[in-house]
A and B are shown apart, each in its own frame.
Chain A
């Protein structure tokens, strides 16, 4: 095994174990915190695949933003932190439905994985250029309209949130 493989399997192990923690833990708070390690592992794999900018954005947005939001949400709504995920009212049919849905998602993903014509550029051992420059160029030339629309959407969401928050006073 070379360094690449060791690091890859390390991150893959982190992702799989923590993702299982997210799904199987009976406390909501454990799931939320397990998500931290999942995001971290995915970011590590991105970094390993030379997508340095994507890796950092993954940590920045998912760990710094979304996860904090989820944890705040769980913490501030008292009592749901200790509720068992399976309550008495859901019967055995839940398992059947869940199995069907997840099996069909798995089939779809496997089908996609095998049929889509993936664009695989030759892997390079050492990668000198940053994906940052390429991303910036593409964002401000080819996809400039999408970029601006996304920015305006965020601005609208921002103003809307401020408006809702101010309503009380």
Chain B
């Protein structure tokens, strides 16, 4: 596998695979700190506050303080919960989001597992999250947790359909499900990114609207997939206290939280890979070496994480019926039409 520098460096043995698995874990940990700070700061700026200012310079050490606080909190397990399932659920949820990092292409030289079915794989492992949330909600033995879990599961299952359509459209456009191949198809500057019709003759501008629609459908779906506002009805504080993690505290709550942030990065990097050229530099071959690619990839993905945070603090929560209306009656028809358009384009494309 030439797409992994660790294997080149240390050879094909179990230790290099362990190193490959640990790198994304370290990345997620660092990223979660940055994202928590981003969430706190952006929330405050949106609401015209200063946000955390006292820990470190302008409060940049706040996420570290939060982590230390969560680590030393008492681990409360309520008496009437189903203990084994209650303790497993946070880990299952986190496995679901962390497993997706196996196929995230940080650079052309570093993708933990260069699967041929990468795009489909990310989509499949997200179902672990659904099971974990159901597990947590049911085992908490609390009606709010249960309602939150059921809401979350039904929401994630419904939104998978339009998201799957946009993934299929990208798969037809690049005739591959391999993350690196999809990105390689978009080489040559931002004009060749899939959001602008991908690699092809000038006729592609006719089909840009279809891809734009697919991007919007996918992005809305990804907000629902990660249970972020405006689709955070599974944890709607005003209706069902805290949703599926009502009974969780301390480190187990932190696992749910961590999984949510990891998931935000996963969907953002998927948006980046599918529509914004992944690790490709926006200026063609300029700054397109494996190390700059990491920078481009992370900056693009972080931008979409920022958009998610930004949306969370600007939009109100939708109602359950509106949620279902949006998926089935708005997003699905648009996704179908856009999919047909993109399929037609990839048919006539030279």
Contact = CB atoms under 8 A, between A and B. Distances in A.
Interface of A: 3, 6, 29-30, 33, 36, 40, 52-53, 56-57, 59-60, 63-65, 67-68, 71-72, 75, 126, 130-132
A75 B154 CA distance: 14
6 A-B pairs closest in CB distance? A64-B127, A130-B116, A60-B124, A59-B124, A3-B14, A56-B124
Contacts of B117: 52-53, 56, 130, 132
Nearest to B134: A71
Contacts of A71: 131, 134, 138
A67 B131 contact: yes
B134 A75 contact: yes
B82 interface: yes
B115 A52 contact: yes
A68 B160 CA distance: 14
A54 to B, nearest CB: 10
A36 B115 contact: no
- Of B120, B131, B160, B178, which is in contact with the most chain A CB atoms at under 10 Å from its CB? B131
B131 A59 contact: no
Nearest to A36: B131
A64 B131 CA distance: 8
Interface residues of B, number: 33
A56 B126 CA distance: 11
Contacts of B128: 36, 40, 59, 63
Contacts of A68: 127, 130-131, 134, 153, 157
Interface in B140-168: 146, 150, 153, 157, 160
Interface string B70-96: 000000000000101100100010000
A60 B14 CA distance: 27
Contacts of B153: 68, 72
B123 interface: yes
Given A130-B116, A130-B117, 4 more contacts: A56-B124, A60-B120, A60-B123, A75-B134
Contacts of B115: 52
B159 to A, nearest CB: 13
A64 B156 CA distance: 10
Contacts of A64: 124, 126-127, 130, 157, 160
Interface string B101-135: 00000000000000111001101111110110011
20 contacts: A3-B17, A29-B82, A33-B85, A33-B88, A36-B92, A52-B115, A60-B120, A60-B123, A63-B124, A64-B126, A67-B131, A68-B130, A68-B157, A71-B131, A71-B134, A75-B150, A126-B1, A130-B116, A130-B177, A132-B116
B322 interface: no
Contacts of A29: 82, 85, 138
B163 to A, nearest CB: 12
Contacts of B146: 75
Contact of A60 (B1, B82, B127, B150): B127
Nearest to A81: B138
Contacts of B17: 3
Nearest to A129: B116
Contacts of B88: 33
Contacts of B238: none
B84 A30 contact: yes
- Of A30, A33, A53, which is in contact with the most chain B CB atoms at under 10 Å from its CB? A33
A136 B85 CA distance: 39
Contacts of B12: 3
Contacts of B150: 72, 75
Nearest to B129: A64
Contacts of B1: 126
Nearest to B84: A30
A64 B161 CA distance: 12
Contacts of B123: 60
A60 B117 CA distance: 12
A61 B313 CA distance: 35
A126 B120 CA distance: 21
Nearest to B154: A72
